[in-house]
Structure 1
Amino acid sequence: MATAFRWLLRLFTVIAGLAIAAMLLAYYMASRSLPDYDATVQVDGLTAPLEIVRDHADVPHIFGASDADVYFGLGYAHAQDRLWQMMMLRRTAQGRLSEIFGRRTFRFDDLMRRLDIYNLAVRSVQVQDAATMEALNAYSAGVNARLAEVNDSALGRGAPEFFLFSPEIAPWAPADSLALIKLMALRLSSHLSEEVLRARTSLLLPEDRLRDILPDSPGAGIAALPEYASLFPGVERFAEVVPETDPLAPYAPRELAGASNAWATAPSRAASGGTLLANDPHLGFSAPSTWYLARLELAAGGVIGGTIPGIPALMVGRSQHFGWGITSSYLDDQDLYVEELNPDNPDEVRTPDGFAPMETRSSIIRVKDEAPVTIQLQWTENGPVIPGQHFGLASITPPGHVMSLAWTALSAEDTSMTAAIRLMQARTVEDGLEAGALFIAPSQNLTLADADSVAMKTVGAMPRRTANHQTTGRIPAPGWLAENRWQGWMNYAANPEFIDPAGGILGNTNNKTVNRPFPNHVSYHWGDTQRIQRWRRLMQAREVHTRESFIEAQLDTVSYSARSLLPLVAADLWYADEAAPARTPERRRQEALELLANWNGEMNEHMPEPLLYAAWMRALQDRLIRDEIGTLAREYTHVDPVFIERVFRNINGAGVWCNVIQSSATESCTEIARRSLDDALVWIDETYGGSLESLRWGDAHEAAHDHAVLGDVPLLSWIVNIRQSTSGGDNTLMRGLTSGTGTNPFQNVHGAGYRGVYDFADPDSSVFIITTGQSGHPLSRHYDDLGELWRRGEYIPMSLDPELARAAAVGVTTLMPRD
C-alpha cells in the first residue's frame, strides 16, 4: 500500500510538474508578443525619425516629420496593440474566416462574398484623393513594418491568438482599410432586417395591429402599405427563422445595429463662453474594445480621439478648435427586392424591359479541414442576390423568386475614407460640412463644433426613390417594376442639416430628426423615442451648461420609459388589494408594487427596482404578443415602450392585444398586467431567489466585454473576458442595451464604447474614455485598465499638450528609417 502511494505521489508530481512547465512555456510564448513601448526600432518606409509617446493610459501621441510619417506611426501602433483584431476584421470583410474556423463560419463567408465588399473596396481605392492615398499607403507601411519586426525578432507571432490559429498574415494594403469602413456600415445597418421582420409580421397581423407592434416614431403618420401577402401570395405565413447568435457574425442583430448620443452647445449656452460637444457612439461590447484612442500631430495641427484599428483616421475627436461626433442616423439606405426568375432560365430575372441575365461569377471559399467550396455569385440590376439562409429571407421569398439588395455601401466609388481624412483637417464647422459631402456609408449624423458655432448634418448617400414606390422601402418590393427602383442618390443638400439653432443647443439620440413626406422622409425606422425625452429635459433644465453638466447627461441613468410606463401599466394595481399573508404570491406581488411605487426610475446597479421593472415589462410584452404571433414573438426581444403605451391607452383599438385569443373569457389590460408581474416574480425567484429588497440590477445587467473567439473556451474565458456590474438600461442616456435572449436576457451587451466631452473654452480640459483598455493582449496591464474607469463613469484627460503626455509616459518608441 505504501509503495503504491509513493508511486502515485511520484506520478502526480511528474504530471503537476509537466503541467506547470507547459503553463510557463505557454506564458513565455504568449508574452513574447507584448510590445516594448520603450524601444528604438529601425524600419522601412519612414522619411525621418518618428516618436510614439505612450501616456499613462497607453494612448499613443505620434510625432513625425510629415503627415505620411504620422500615419505610418498610427499603423505601427495599431499593429502593436491590436494585430489579431485587425486581421480578424480583414478576414471578415474578405469572407475568409472559414480558413481558420472551418464550417462554423462558412455562412458568414458566403454572405460577405455575395455582398462583394472587399472587391468594391479594391475598386474604391482609385477614387480617393491624393492626401487620402498618402495616408492609406503610409498607414499600410506602418502596419507592415510591425509585421516585419515580429518576424525578424520572433515576437510571439504578434499576438497570442496566432499560436492557436493560422499564423499566416498577408501584408496590409490600402483596400483593407476601405473594406473595414464597409464592414462597419454592415454592422450599423438595420433596415434590411427591419424589412424582413415587418414583412413576416404583416403575414400574421392586420394593418392596424402591425402599426401597434412596429409603431412609427411619434409624428405624422403615413399612407397604408400594401399587404405583403397580397404582393406575393405564395409566401408561407408561419415560416420560422433561427436567430443568429454567433459573435463572429459580420452583422449585428436588428436591435443592436446602431445607436449613439451626441449634443453640443453654442457659446451663448455655455458657462465658459466656448462651445461644448459630447459624444458617445454605441457599439456591441467586445474585448478588446472596437475603439482605440490616439493623438496625431499633423501639419495642420494636432488631433486626438477615437480610431478603429485598421483605419488610418480618427472617426470621432477634436483638434485645438474643432470637434466632431457621430450618431447613427437611421437613414433608410437599404432596400430588398423580390426578383422573379425566368422559369425557362434561372440565370435570368424579370426587369422593366423583360427577362435579362444576372451577372454571375464563381468564388471559392476555403474551409479548414474540408475541401474548398465553390459558390456562384449573382447580381441583378438592383444589387447582389442574397440566398434565403441569410437574414431569414427564405421565410418571405415566394417560390420562383430570389431576393436582391440595394445598398449605398455597395458602391465602387466610395469616398468615405477621403471624407474622414478631410474631417481631421477641418478647422471650422463649414469645413466639416464640406467634408461630409464625401461620406457614402455608413450614414451618420455628424455633430460639429468650432470656437463659435455648432451644427448637425446627416451624412451618407440618401437613395432617390420615386413617389409611387409600392412599399415606400419598408418591406421588400417587386424588383421588376420601374417605380420601385432607385433613381440614383439625392443631392447632399437634401440631407437634414441644423446650424446654430436659435436655442443654442442641438443633439441626437438616434431619434427622429425630420418629419418630411416620402420620398424625402429620410427614414420610417428610427432608433430612439425615449432617450430623447430625458435628454431634452436635462438640456432645458439649465440656462447654461458646463463640461460637468455634459458629463452628467452622458452618465444619466434615469429611465423616461419607466417613469411613463409604470403609472400607466399599474394604474389599477397600486395598493388595490388587502394585505396578503406572508410568503404567498399575492404578498410577493404587493411587495414588488410597493418598491416600484416609491422608485424614481433610476436604473442604478445597486437597486432592486430596475430588475423588477425590466422583468415585468418583458413578461408583459411577451404575454401581449405571443398568442397573436406565436414563435415570431422571439424576434421581439426588447420591450418597445411605444407599443406598451399604445396598448394601455387603447390607441386605435390597440387594447385588443390584452385579450387572450385562445381563451373564452375577455381579459382586461389590468388582468394581463397582474399576471405578467406574477410571471416576472416567478422568474426572479427561480433565477435569483431571496428577498426582493436584496436584488441588484447590476447582477443581471452585467456588461459582457467578451473575446469573440476565445470567450467561450473554458479557463481561457476567465482571462480574456471582462465582466462588470453596470447601471443604465435599454432607454437611458447612459445606455446599456440588454441582450434580450438566453438565460440572462438583461446582460448588458451594447453601449457607449467611447465617451468624449470637449470644451473649446479650455480644449485641454476635454476628457475621453473607452470600455476596456488600449491593448488587445490579455497579458498586458493595458488590456482592461480603462474598463473600471469606464464602469464608474470616469474619464482620462484628452490633452494635446506634448509635455503632459511625456510627463507620465509608460514609454517612448522611436522609429528610425532603415539605412
Structure 2
Amino acid sequence: MKYLKKFVKIVIILVLLIVVFGWFYSKTYHPNYDGELEIKNLTDEVTVYFDEVGVPHINATNQKDAYTALGYVHAQDRLWQMELIRRLAAGRLSEIFGKKLIRTDKFFSGLGIEEASVKTIKNLNKNSDRYKLALAYLDGVNQFIEDGKTPIEYSLVGVEKEKYTIKDMYNVFGYMAFSFAAAHKIDPLLTEIKEKLGAAYFNELIGAEKENLTLLKNEKNAVMKGSFAKEMHNLFEQLPISPFIGSNSWVIGADKTKNGKVIFANDPHIGFSQPSVWYQAHVKTPEFEIYGFHLALVPFPLLGHNKNYAYGLTMFENDDIDFYIEEENPENPNQYKTPNGYVNYDLVEKRIKIKGEKDSVYTIKVSKHGPVMNGIIDHIDDERPIAMQWIYTKVDNEILDVAYRISHAKSLSDFKKGASKLHAPGLNMMYGDAKNNIAWFASGKLYKHRDSLYTKTYLNGASGNDEITAYLDFEENPQAINPTDGYVYTANNQPDSIVGGLYPGYYLNEDRAKRIVQLLEPKDDWTKEDVAEMIYDVTSPNAPIIIADFVKSIRKNELTASQKKAIALLQNWKGNFKKQEVGPVIYNRLVYEFQKNTFADEMGEAYNQFVNTPFVEKVLPVQVKKEKSIWWDDISTKNKIETKEEIITKSFLKMYSFLVNQLGENVEDWKWERVLSVEYKHAVGEVALLRKYFNVGPFKTTGGDQVINNQVYDLDSTGVYKIKAGPSTRRIVDFSDVDNSLGILPTGQSGNVFSKHYKDQAQKYLDGEFVKMKLNQTEIEQSKNVLVLKPKN
C-alpha cells in the first residue's frame, strides 16, 4: 500500500508538471501580436495592427520594409505550413514523416518542378522590384526562423529549421501549377478504355464532354475611364497540404447593382486542411496598398483588393499536360525514337531521404517531352514508356512577375498585362474596379495540335505527328471585358469557342455555372447582402432533372409503401442540400449504385480511377438520359442483356436496402446532417492523441458537391460523406462601400495551435457569416494589438 501511494504521488506530480509545462508553453509560444521587436534590414519603423481576427495591417514607409515585416509575421503564424509545402513540392516529406510518403515524394520529385525552378532563377532579373521584394519577404521569414519561437510541430515531428531560398518559393509555384492532377487520373483511364474495351465504349463515354454545357462567353468591349470612385486519389489523400480543386467567382457590373457600383465575389475551392491555405495581410505604404490573401512562401497575393480594384481567381481547368508513348531502342533502353532517329534520354538521379530508413535512390529518364512516369505514377501500369509533357516545365516561367503585376496594377490594362504572362497553371483571372470595369481573363499558355487529335489519351511520341503545332497569342485566350450581360463569372466550366473550337480541358460539370447564371441574370438591384446569401447557396439545378430520368425507369409495380415513399421524397426534392433534407441522402446513394452498376463490370479495377472524377460527373446526366447504351449490359451476367430499366431499378433497390441498414426504417429520418461532416485536419492530427488539439472539427454542415457552396466529398461504399474540399475563403468586395468588404476563412488566420486565431472563424464560416476586411485607417488604428518592428543595428 505504501508503494502504491508513493506511485500515485509520483503520477500526480508528473501530471501537474505536464499541465504546468503545457500552460507555460502555450503562453510563451503563441505569436507576438503586440509589443516591440527589433529586426534587421529595416530602414524605418514598421507598425503592424492586428485586428480582431488576427489579420496584420502593415504600415511602412516603403515596400521593402513592408515585405520584410510581412515575411516575419507570416512566418510566426504559418511557419509549419511553409515547411510542409516546400517539402511537398521538392519531394521531401519522407524526411519527416517516414516511408508512408515515399510514393508522394517520388511523384512530386519526378515532375521536374525543382529543375524548372533552378532554370527560372538563373534567368531572373536580379535588379527588378519583384525580385528585391521577394528577397525582402524571405529575409523576414528567415529572421523569424533565427530569432522567433519554434512551432511545437517541429519538436513533435523532429524537424530542424532551415532557412528559405528563392528556389523554395518557386517550388511552391510549381505545386500550385500542378493543381488537381485531373490529367493523371483521366488520360490513363481513357487510354485503357479505348485500347481494352474498344471504340464503341470509348466514343460513347467521351461524347458526354460536348453535352450539357453552360459556356463562358467571350466578349471584349471598351474599358471605362470613369471617375476614381484511385491511386492518385490515395496519393492526394495523404497530402498534408491542400490541392487546388475548383472555384466560383462572379463580378456584377454597376448597372446590375442597387448602388451603381461593381460588386466582386470569389471563393476558390481547395482541399481542406489546417491551417487554412490562405494567409490574409494588409500592406500599406505612402505609394502602395493591397489587402491580400497569400499562399505560404508567396509574398504577392493571388487574391486581393484595395479601394481601386479587386481581383481573384478560379481554376481554368484547361488541358496543359500531354502523355506520350515513347519507343525505346531495343538495343539500348536509354535511347528513344524521334523522327530523326534514336536519341539519348537525359538521366536524372533522385535521392529521397526517409526518416529512420536508408535513402531511396532512383533514376528518372527524361525525353524531349518530359519525364517518363512509369514507376512514378503507380496506375500507369504499362510496359510502354509513358512520358509527361507539362506546359509548366516546358516554356518560360514568369509567375513571380504575374503575382507582382496583378497585385500592383494601376488599371485594367495593367492587370491584363500581368494576367497575360501566366503560362501555368491555367487560371481564370477575375477583375472589378471602382471605375465600373469588370473583366474575366482565361490565363495560361494555350496551344494547338493537329485538328483530329484527341489529347486525353496517350499520344505517339516517336512519329512527330502528335507534337504541339502552335502556341496561341494571349488575345486569342477566352476573355470578356465589360460584357453586355452586365456580369462576368466562372465556375470551372467550359469557355466559349476559340480558334474554331472548344479548347480541350478537364472542365467541371455545368451545375454551379448554371445556378450562378440563374441567379444573376434576372436581378438588377444586387447588394452586398444579396451576394453574401448567394455565395452560400446550396441548390443544384440539375439534380432534379437527373432524378426525373431515374424515376421514369424504376419498375414500381412491386415496390413496398416505404420504397414508394422514398421515391416521392426524391421527386419532391428541389435539389437543396440543407441539413434537414432527405433528398441528398437518397440521391447520392442512388448515383453511387447507378454508376457502379453501369460502369464497374466493364472497367474492372479501373473503375476506382473513374469514379469521383470531374469526368464522371459530366457523364452522369448524359448517361441517365440514354435509352440505348453499350454500357447498360452487365457483362458478369452470362447470356443476358440488361436494359436501362433493369440497371436503374436494381440501383434503386440496393440504395434503399443500404439506407435502411444505415439509417433505419423511417425514410423521413434519413436527414443529410446524419451523413455529412467536415473536419479540418492538421498534419500531426493524424496521431489519435493529438487529433483533438490540432484538428478543427468534426462539424455538421450544409452544402453538397457541385452547388455554389461546394462541399467536395467522395461517393463510396460507406454512405458517409466526409468533406475533403470546399471554399478556401469567401470574399465580397462592394465598391460602393469598399471599407466594409467581407471575407471569411474556414478555420482561422493562424496556424499556431496556441494562437487565439487558430480556429476563431470556424463556426462563422459554417454558418455562412463573414468578418470585415478592414481598409479604413482610423478603424484599423483602434486595434487592441499593435506590434512595432524597429530597425536592429
Alignment partner, residue 756 of structure 2: 781
Shift of 1:663: 5.0
> Given that residues 569 and 670 in structure 1 are in contact (C-alpha distance below 8 angstroms), is that contact kept between their aligned partners in structure 2?
no
Which one-letter code corresponds to 2:649 in the other structure? R
Deviations 1:443-492 (A, max 9, x none): 10111112221111111212343335xx4321111112222123463222
- After the TM superposition, which residues 366-445 of structure 1 pair with which residues of structure 2 at under 5 Å, given as runs? 366-394=353-381, 397=382, 399=383, 401-411=384-394, 413-445=396-428
> Please, which of 636, 649, 659 is the counterpart of residue 610 of structure 2?
636
Q: Is the 8 A contact 1:589 1:677 kept in 2?
A: no
- Specify whether residues 677 and 441 from structure 1 end up closer, same or farther in structure 2 by C-alpha distance, changes over 3 A only: same
**CA positional deviation for 1:550:** 2.0
**Farther-moved stretch of structure 1 (693-702 vs 170-179):** 693-702
1:132 is matched with 130
Match of 2:599 in 1: 625
Q: Matched residues in 1 for 2:680 and 2:205: separation?
A: 31
Question: 1:335, 1:476 within 8 Å by CA — same for their partners in 2?
Answer: yes
* Helix, strand or coil at the partner of 1:393: coil
Percent identity, please.
24
Query: What one-letter code is carried by the residue in structure 2 that aligns with 1:376?
Result: T
Contact 1:37 1:812 in 2 (8 A): yes
**Paired position in structure 1 for 2:32:** 36
- Residues 415 and 438 in structure 1, CA contact (< 8 A), matched pair in contact too: yes
Residue of structure 2 equivalent to 1:354: 341
Moved more, 24-33 or 751-760: 24-33
Displacement of 1:793: 0.6
| Per-residue deviation, 1:80 | 0.6
Q: Which amino acid aligns with 1:760?
A: F
Name the structure 2 match of 1:543. Answer: 524
| 1:484-495 equivalence runs, <5 A | 484-487=466-469, 489-495=471-477
The residue number in structure 2 matching 1:113 is 109
- In structure 1, the gaps of 5 or more residues are 222-239, 581-585
CA distance in 1, matches of 2:617, 2:236: 28
Given candidates 444, 455, 477, the residue that maps to 1:473 is 455
The equivalent residue for 1:590 is 564
CA drift at 1:573? 4.8
The secondary structure found in structure 2 opposite 1:378 is strand
The reply on whether 1:338 has 2:325 as its aligned counterpart is yes
Task: Tell whether the 8 Å contact from 2:201 to 2:630 is kept in structure 1 after alignment.
Answer: no
CA drift of 1:795 comes to 0.9
Say if 2:508 and 2:618, in contact at 8 Å, map to a contact too.
no
Aligned to 2:41: 45
Distance in 1 between residues matched to 2:561 and 2:635, nearest whole Å: 26
CA displacement, residues 202-261 of structure 1 (integer Å, 9 cap, x when unaligned): 23433343344445433599xxxxxxxxxxxxxxxxxx9685245444898xxx752101
Q: Deviations over 1:654-680 (max 9, x none)?
A: 375266651545444334323222222
Q: 558, 574, 580: which is aligned to 1:600? A: 574
Contact 1:34–1:780 (8 Å) recurs in 2: yes
TM-score w.r.t. the length of structure 2 is: 0.92
Residue 356 of structure 1 and its aligned partner are, at CA, apart by 0.3
One-letter amino acid of the structure 1 residue matched with residue 155 of structure 2: F
Amino acid across the alignment from 1:178: Y
Query: Residues 262 and 509 of structure 1 are in contact (CA less than 8 Å); yes or no, is this contact kept in structure 2?
Result: yes
Q: From 656, 675, 679, give the equivalent of 2:654.
A: 679
Q: Which amino acid aligns with 2:727?
A: A
| 1:309 alignment partner AA | A
Q: Secondary structure at the match of 2:471?
A: coil
Q: Which amino acid is 1:544 matched to? A: D
4+ aligned runs moved over 6 Å, structure 1: none
Q: Could you tell me how far apart the structure 1 residues matched to 2:551 and 2:289 are?
A: 55
Q: Which residue of 1 aligns with 2:669?
A: 694
CA distance in 1, matches of 2:174, 2:154: 25
Match for residue 143 of structure 2 among 142, 145, 148: 145
Q: Which residues in structure 2 correspond to 1:238-249 (within 5 Å)?
A: 244-245=234-235, 247-249=237-239
Residue type at the aligned position of 1:102: G
Amino acid at match of 1:273: G
2:488 aligns to what?
Answer: 506
What is the aligned partner in structure 1 of residue 78 from structure 2? 82
1:187 and 1:250 in contact (8 A); partners too: no
Tell whether 2:304 aligns with 1:308: no
Deviation at 1:290, TM superposition (A): 0.8
Q: Is the aligned partner of 1:449 residue 2:432?
A: yes
Distance 1:731 1:89 in 2: 27
Query: Residues 153-192 of structure 1: matches in 2 within 5 Å?
Result: 155=149, 157=150, 159-192=151-184
Task: Check the 8 A contact 2:253/2:436 in 1, yes or no.
Answer: yes
Q: Does the alignment pair 1:533 with 2:509?
A: no
Do the aligned partners of 1:324 and 1:446 also contact (CA within 8 Å) in 2?
Answer: yes
Residues 700 and 806 (structure 1 numbering): CA distance in 2 closer, same or farther, change over 3 Å? farther
Deviates more, 1:141-150 or 1:121-130: 121-130
Do the aligned residues in 1 keep the contact of 2:632 with 2:643 (CA within 8 Å)? no
- Asked whether the equivalents of residues 551 and 757 of structure 1 are also in contact (C-alpha less than 8 Å), the reply is yes
TM-fit CA distance, 1:758: 1.1
- Select 1:761's aligned residue among 733, 736, 742: 736
Alpha carbons 2:252, 2:487 under 8 Å: kept: yes
Q: In 1, distance between residues paired with 2:325 and 2:415?
A: 39
| Counterpart for residue 21 of structure 1 | 17
Equivalent residue runs for 1:183-222 within 5 Å: 183-218=175-210
Alignment-derived partner of residue 225 in structure 1 = none
Contact 1:306 1:754 in 2 (8 A): no
* Matched residue type, 2:198: P
Residues 379 and 655 (structure 1), Cα distance of their counterparts in 2 relative to 1, 3 Å cut: closer
SS at match of 1:306: strand
Change (3 A) 1:655 1:271: farther
C-alpha distance in 2, partners of 1:287/1:86?
Answer: 12
Aligned equivalent of 2:225? none
Say if 1:362 and 1:389 are closer, same or farther in 2 by CA, change over 3 A: closer
Contact 2:85 2:241 survives alignment (8 Å): no
- Describe the superposition over 1:600-634 as per-residue Cα deviations: whole angstroms up to 9, x where unpaired: 21100232221121112111211121222223222
SS at match of 2:788: strand
Judge conservation of contact 1:441–1:460 (CA < 8 Å) in 2.
Answer: yes
- Shift of the alpha carbon at 1:738? 0.8
| 1:706 maps to which of 673, 678, 681 | 681
8 Å contact kept, 2:189–2:610: no
**Deviates further, 404-413 or 376-385:** 404-413
Separation of aligned partners in 1, 2:553 and 2:91: 55
Q: Helix, strand or coil for the counterpart of 1:650?
A: coil
Q: Structure 1 stretch 358-367 or stretch 159-168: which is displaced more?
A: 358-367
Q: Distance in 1 between matches of 2:212 and 2:689?
A: 54
- Are the structure 2 counterparts of residues 215 and 815 from structure 1 closer, same or farther at C-alpha, using a change threshold of 3 Å? farther
Partners in 2 of 1:103 and 1:280 — Cα distance? 35
CA distance in 2: counterparts of 1:403 and 1:573, whole angstroms: 44
Distance 1:601 1:414, change over 3 A: same
State the superposition RMSD in angstroms.
2.5
Deviations 1:292-311 (A, max 9, x none): 11111145432113111210
Letter in 2 for 1:553: M
Go from structure 1 to structure 2 and tell me whether the alpha carbon gap of 1:291 and 1:484 turns closer, same or farther (over 3 Å shift).
same
Distance, in Å, in 1 between the alignment partners of 2:380 and 2:617 is 28
Alpha-carbon distance in structure 2 between the residues aligned to 1:187 and 1:788:
28
Figure out how many residues of one structure are paired with residues of the other and give that number.
771
Distance 2:12 2:557 in 1: 64
Deviation of the 1:774 alpha carbon: 0.7
Deviation at 1:278, TM superposition (A): 0.8
Q: TM-score, normalised by structure 1?
A: 0.89
